[in-house]
Amino acid sequence: MINSKSLKKEIFAAYLESQTEISLLKKEIEILETAKNSQILTVDDYGNDFVNRCEIHGKEFNLFIEDLKFAAEFLKNKIQEVKRVELPSFIK
């Protein structure tokens, strides 16, 4: 049976539901406005970024090669020093 109390409960429940939905929609609008104001990256931006990264990696690789040359020269000198060491006379 429909009476004024049950009708008030239904109306109040619908009101609360609509308030919740309104607050969710406000949050979505805020997110969309924030996204709208942010800068969108273009394909050219990605291309420029890729080129810059390649240049940096190239420089790092060249420095790595120089470090390897330095390490190889160091080891070569140490090997020469080890070859010059004589064994003690009691081992011969």
Whether 43 shows a pLDDT value over 60: the answer reads yes
The more confident residue out of 60 and 5 is 60
Question: What is the number of structural domains in the chain?
Answer: 2
Domain-located, residue 58: yes
Is residue 90 a part of any domain in this protein? no
| 7 is a domain residue | yes
Six-digit token string for 86: 């004589």
> What tokens does 31 get?
């997110």
Q: Within this chain, do residues 48 and 81 fall inside the same structural domain, yes or no? A: yes
User: pLDDT above 70 covers what percent of the chain?
Assistant: 91
- For residue 34, the model assigns a pLDDT of 85
Residue 2's pLDDT is 59
Instruction: Please report whether residue 91 resides in a domain.
Output: no
What is the rounded average pLDDT of the residues 42-55? Answer: 94
Place of tokens 């969710």: 24
Range of the domain at 63: 40-85
Q: State the pTM of this model.
A: 0.47
Mean pLDDT value across the chain: 88
78/52 same-domain check: yes
Co-location of 21 and 34 in the same domain = yes
